[in-house]
Structure 1
């Protein structure tokens, strides 16, 4: 079937760089799959898990928003932050989830609810991906 090059890059580092058989990205309009010979595409990404297959094995990466660009058998993901599912610290993610839930439940007018809800969503996705490893 062939492969495509996957690059997952944050402002700090390259998280994934290699040949993959396929990838599924968390687009803002829903998940979308990318196979070799995919038509050119540019999409905004939401907080979610990016799944890719290499060597017949599925791998997962946490993505905290960004953009995906597909062009000439290269999928480039420019993410605000990203981490491999194997690297997720579940204790830290659980603590972040609890903090965000307390901020949301507190109904404090000083709390930026959009930011608190995004923190909660990031923590939930991290915990879900950590269970897949």
Structure 2
């Protein structure tokens, strides 16, 4: 190199570049199984039966006497049926009473039903093809 001569010194710079790529380390396979459970449901069915009896009374209601009202006697509902009849004067005659008796009966029934419950089966598949089943966590629903 000579005096007064310009020398060029090259400058070097390094740069870094980062890349990402997906690498498969395994797979997960999920399937569901449905189990069938036979159960018998038991329940008592209740029903009410109503019997109606007509009882002839044909009693004249005295003047000033209050007309009979609907009443309950020993579990029987009594409904008075009144009629006005024309004599020389009007009189209130208790024509009949309708007695209604209510009875309750029960019947035990059993109905077979099929209940379904699903559960998930999870399997891990390694890149080499090995399959490992993942234990399921039981939850009460």
The TM-score, its normalising length taken from structure 2, stands at: 0.17
Between structure 1 and structure 2, the one with the greater Rg is 2
Higher RCO, 1 vs 2 (CA within 8 Å, ≥6 residues apart)? 2
TM-score of the superposed pair, with normalisation by structure 1: 0.18
